[in-house]
């Protein structure tokens, strides 16, 4: 196989009108969601697709304009020429060519991610096999996957409870929300959520806001006390309760609480995922094929978790193309029982409108009763809607803004 062309497209899905969400010490403005769609064509005319995971914040460290444009230019102007005329015997060759460019770890991992996913899409199409079969290597794979609903972003405690009840009515296995209202209100929120959904439904808490509040960020001792107070309401896990780079804090917090902890989405590479798992500080490791070197990189993390007291559960917070890409990984990974499903729209169960999330595909996914049934077609098994490139033109500027109150 040879990659003859690598094309990357920037798309935006405006949130109109922009939304404002109040949190502890400020307001978050939601303006749009951005997407990078990557298409790779081989010398034989076969095409594979992949969702780009690079965010503007990831670009900021390496490009002055801090937009998706930097990632698109990197793929088309630096990486594509490196593949010209190069034979690819397997996915490892894709990673080797990207590594030759000596990029920073984060960019290498994210560039390798899109090319690895596209490679698997092409390879599966060529051999008439879905990606989950390629990864499973003959093992039995369940195509019907339970989903946990990912929603809940900065609202009054009663709002979270109302949303959780709506999520439960749709049959989802769990509800994940994002607190950040202040310690007392955060504790009240999980109490109301648990009352709303009953004892059987899983409740996940994505606590990344706790260490992003500037002067109002929760101190470590407060985080320890709050997480342990959450134990009364039986959270399935608390996600990123401390800064992702602070492995010592993860390990220390884990030793002080009975509540399961989760993390990994912010790691720059598969090596980072494995290093986090080795700390013993997380019970759930959250890799993402859009961020962590595609299937090849994430599978290393899956294998690392095998036989250890840590469960691999894919992170997913993008379009339906990203959902399907991570679903193939979840279906094939032994011990993985859940997949993250972001709920977008305008009803009480949704986070905010993001129509491009579904419109990026012409394939209508089989999502019902809180489950996704994976398509059984070759490769990713879905058709990409190329008309979306023109229907959702890229909009300059950040997708979200944080405005902090002056102390």
Q: How high is the pLDDT of residue 137?
A: 78
**Residues 49-86 pLDDT 10s:** 999 974 444 333 333 343 567 889 999 999 999 999 99
| Regions of the chain short of the pLDDT cut 50 | 54-66
Q: How high is the pLDDT of residue 70?
A: 84
How do strand 284-285 and strand 261-263 relate by DSSP bridges?
parallel
Residues in the chain: 407
Q: Which residue has the tokens 């595609």?
A: 294
Q: How high is the pLDDT of residue 64?
A: 37
What is the SS3 assignment for 109?
helix
Q: How high is the pLDDT of residue 121?
A: 98
- CA-CA distance, 404 to 407, in Å (whole number)? 9
DSSP letter at 406?
Answer: P
Q: How high is the pLDDT of residue 214?
A: 85
Cα 241-244-246 angle, rounded to 5 deg: 95
Half-sphere exposure of 116 (CA within 13 A, CB side): 31
Hey, what domains does the chain have and what are their CATH numbers? 3-129+392-404 (3.30.390.10), 133-385 (3.20.20.120)
Q: How high is the pLDDT of residue 139?
A: 78
CA proximity to 276, closest of 45, 119, 335, 286: 286
**Residues 354-382 pLDDT 10s:** 999 999 999 999 999 999 999 999 999 99
**Residues 21-42 pLDDT 10s:** 999 999 999 999 999 999 999 9
Q: How high is the pLDDT of residue 337?
A: 85
Q: How high is the pLDDT of residue 68?
A: 63
- CA-CA distance, 125 to 332, in Å (whole number)? 18
Q: Which tokens sit at 218?
A: 């929760």
pTM of the complete model: 0.94
Buried b (16+ CB within 10 A) or exposed e, 73-111: ebbeeebbeebeeeebeebeebbebbeeeebeebbbbbb
Buried b (16+ CB within 10 A) or exposed e, 266-297: ebbbbbbbbebbebebbbbbbbbbbbbbbbbb
């Amino acid at each position: 196989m040879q990659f003859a062309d690598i094309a990357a497209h920037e798309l935006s899905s405006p949130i109109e009108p922009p939304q404002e969400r109040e949190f502890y010490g400020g307001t978050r403005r939601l303006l749009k969601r951005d997407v990078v769609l990557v298409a790779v064509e081989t010398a034989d005319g076969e095409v594979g697709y992949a969702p780009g995971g690079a965010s503007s914040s990831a670009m900021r460290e390496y490009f002055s304009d801090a937009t998706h444009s930097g990632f698109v230019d990197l793929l088309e102007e630096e990486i594509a020429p490196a593949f010209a005329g190069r034979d690819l015997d397997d996915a490892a060759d894709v990673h080797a060519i990207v590594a030759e460019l000596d990029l920073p770890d984060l960019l290498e991992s994210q560039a390798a991610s899109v090319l690895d996913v596209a490679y698997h899409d092409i390879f599966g199409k060529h051999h008439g096999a879905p990606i989950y079969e390629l990864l499973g290597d003959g093992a039995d794979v369940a195509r019907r996957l339970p989903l946990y609903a990912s929603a809940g972003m900065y609202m009054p405690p009663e709002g979270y409870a109302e949303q959780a009840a709506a999520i439960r009515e749709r049959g989802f296995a769990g509800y994940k929300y994002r607190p950040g209202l202040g310690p007392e209100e955060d504790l009240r929120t999980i109490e109301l959520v648990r009352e709303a959904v009953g004892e059987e439904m899983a409740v996940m808490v994505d606590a990344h806001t706790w260490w992003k509040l500037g002067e109002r960020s929760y101190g470590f001792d407060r985080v320890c006390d709050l997480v342990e107070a959450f134990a009364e309401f039986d959270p399935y896990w608390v996600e990123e309760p401390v800064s992702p780079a602070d492995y010592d804090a993860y390990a220390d917090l884990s030793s002080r609480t009975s509540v399961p902890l989760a993390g990994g989405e912010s790691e720059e590479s598969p090596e980072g995922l494995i290093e986090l798992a080795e700390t013993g500080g997380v019970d759930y490791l959250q890799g993402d094929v859009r961020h962590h070197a595609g299937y090849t990189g994430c599978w290393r993390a899956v294998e690392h978790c095998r036989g250890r007291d840590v469960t691999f559960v894919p992170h997913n917070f993008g379009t339906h193309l990203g959902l399907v890409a991570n679903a193939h990984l979840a279906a094939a990974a032994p011990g993985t029982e859940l997949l993250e499903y972001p709920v977008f729209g305008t009803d009480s169960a949704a986070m905010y409108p993001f129509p491009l999330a579904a419109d990026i595909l012409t394939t209508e996914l089989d999502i019902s009763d809180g489950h996704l049934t994976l398509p059984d077609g070759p490769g990713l098994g879905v058709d990409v809607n190329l008309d979306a490139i023109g229907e959702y033109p890229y909009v300059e500027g950040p997708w979200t803004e944080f405005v902090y109150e002056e102390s």
